[in-house]
Amino acid sequence: MRESSHTAVLGAGVIGASWAALFLASGRSVAVYDPNPEAERLVRDYVETAWPTMTELGLTARGTPDAVSFHANAAEAVDGAGFIQESVPERLPIKHALYAGIEGAMAPGAVLASSASGLTLSQMQGGWGDPSRMILGHPFNPPHLIPLVEVVANERTAPGVLERAEAFYADIGKVTIRLEKEVPGHVANRLQAAVWREAIHLVMEGVASVGDVDKAVWAGPGLRWAAMGPTALFNLGAGPGGLRAFCDHFSDTFNGWWDDLGAPSLTPEVAETLIAGIDAANGGRSQAELAAERDALLTAIRKATGPIR
Q: Where are the domains of the chain?
A: 6-178, 189-305
Q: Which residues pair with 30 in a beta bridge?
A: 7, 68
Query: Taking 80 as the threshold, does the pLDDT of residue 237 lie above it?
Result: yes
Look at residue 309 in the predicted model and tell me its pLDDT: 55
Alpha helices in 205-241 (DSSP H): 210-218, 221-225, 230-237
Look at residue 187 in the predicted model and tell me its pLDDT: 96
Cβ atoms 19, 11 nearer than 8 A: no
Query: What is the largest distance, in Å, between two alpha-carbon atoms of the chain?
Result: 61
3-state secondary structure (DSSP) of residue 271: helix
Report if pTM > 0.85: yes
Q: How big, in percent rounded to 5, are the helix, strand and coil portions of the chain?
A: 55, 10, 35
In the CATH hierarchy, which fold is given to the domain comprising 189-305? N-(1-d-carboxylethyl)-l-norvaline Dehydrogenase; domain 2 (1.10.1040)
Mean per-residue pLDDT for 158-170? 97
Cβ atoms 18, 141 nearer than 8 A: yes
Query: Taking 60 as the threshold, does the pLDDT of residue 116 lie above it?
Result: yes
Residue type at position 122: S
Query: Taking 60 as the threshold, does the pLDDT of residue 240 lie above it?
Result: yes
CA distance 90 to 87: 8
Look at residue 1 in the predicted model and tell me its pLDDT: 37
Q: Tens of pLDDT along 145-157?
A: 999 999 999 999 9
**Domain 6-178, CATH 3.40.50.720 — does that match?**
yes
